[in-house]
Amino acid sequence: MYNPGTLRIHELTDDERAIYATLKPERLPEHVAIIMDGNGRWAGQRSLKRFLGHQQGAKSVQMVTETASRIGLPWLTLYAFSLENNLRRPRAEVSFLMRLLKNYLETNLQRMMDNNVRIRYIGRTRELAPDVQEKMAWAAEATARNTGTTLTLALNYGGRSEIVDAMRGLAAEMKQKNLSPDRITEEDVHRHLYTAHMPDPDLLIRTSGEMRLSNYLLWQIAYTEIFVTERYWPDFRGIHLLEAIADFQRRERRYGGLGEDCGEVEEDPERISSAAG
Ligand code: FPP
């Protein structure tokens, strides 16, 4: 399905191109997930209302998405609105965020088409207001045949509730097929997650410096590399995505195994296990 066509490196800015030139194309991540944080602090620093931070944050969403599509990133997943945001933020802020989302989808649809970007969503989106769901469905349908970057917006999303939803789906399947729970595998859980159709993120970026996961993609990030920047989301641009990817490429991913430079294992493992009884 994923087919970016020709890469559009020539559309990067000069600064972005300079960083892109240092990257190893064969080691680009397939999936980048981002916790977009710091809209409120960005606004506070400028004595502006929080709303303006969100508005500026929506501009960052578009710029980062376009850079991702130019470099041929297959999957970009953004934490746009959490279950906790929905429950714990003032109603006025929640309704502003919903209006901003609708407006964002409407005004950026043509740019999504021009960039071959497909829009999808994860989360308990059926709990959002009908007019918001309608606009979301409209944008997803309009971009469904695009074959470049898939931009997934996590909306009314929580990692734990995703696992609960997956468990409910899996339990129903087991019951219907009359299967015993000891037959459950990790693959079965994966099939019932909202993200069943995509690979796990290679890289998770969090803006504005907090060192936490905030209930984001909890199952999927088991082996994901994490990159935290102090920069607030409204100041985050394509160049910062490329910097995070450059940092990612300097990491050694081990998936619980040994690294390439681990040297010889000195002890005879058999001797240790027999000594341990
Ligand atoms: C955190 O800022 C960010 C959010 C609440 C969600 C992200 C929302 C956007 C980027 C707005 C637009 C998105 C789309 C897809 C149109 P915060 O308010 O928690 O910041 P703070 O921690 O500094 O208060």
Q: What confidence score (pLDDT) does residue 254 get?
A: 78
* Helix axes of 130-143 and 91-114: crossing angle, nearest 10 degrees: 10
How many C-beta atoms surround the C-beta of residue 47 within 10 A?
A: 6
Q: What confidence score (pLDDT) does residue 229 get?
A: 98
Length of the chain: 277
Q: Which residue has the tokens 């901003």?
A: 100
Q: Give me ligand 1 centre to Cα 250, in Å.
A: 29
Q: Give me ligand 1 centre to Cα 140, in Å.
A: 21
Determine the atom of ligand 1 nearest the C-alpha atom of 233.
10
Q: Where are the domains of the chain?
A: 4-9+27-163+201-250
How far apart CA 183 and CA 260 sit, in angstroms, is 35
The tokens describing 237, both together, are 């641009």
Q: What confidence score (pLDDT) does residue 267 get?
A: 61
CATH number 3.20.20.370 given to 4-9+27-163+201-250 = no
Ligand 1 pocket, residue 58 CB under 6 Å: yes
DSSP letters spanning 69-129: HHTT-SEEEEEEEEHHHHHHS-HHHHHHHHHHHHHHHHHHHHHHHHTT-EEEEES-GGGS-
Ligand 1 pocket, residue 20 CB under 6 Å: no
DSSP three-state, residue 259: coil
pTM of the model: 0.92
Q: Give me ligand 1 centre to Cα 153, in Å.
A: 12
Determine the atom of ligand 1 nearest the C-alpha atom of 54.
11
Instruction: Provide the edge-to-edge strand list for the sheet that holds 225-228.
Output: 118-122, 150-157, 75-82, 31-35, 203-206, 225-228
* Nearest residue (CA) to ligand 1, atom 8: 80
Q: What confidence score (pLDDT) does residue 256 get?
A: 78
Q: Along the chain (277 residues), what's the average pLDDT of each consecutive run of 10 residues?
A: 80 97 96 98 97 98 98 97 93 96 98 98 98 98 98 98 98 94 95 98 98 98 98 98 97 79 60 49
Q: What confidence score (pLDDT) does residue 7 get?
A: 86
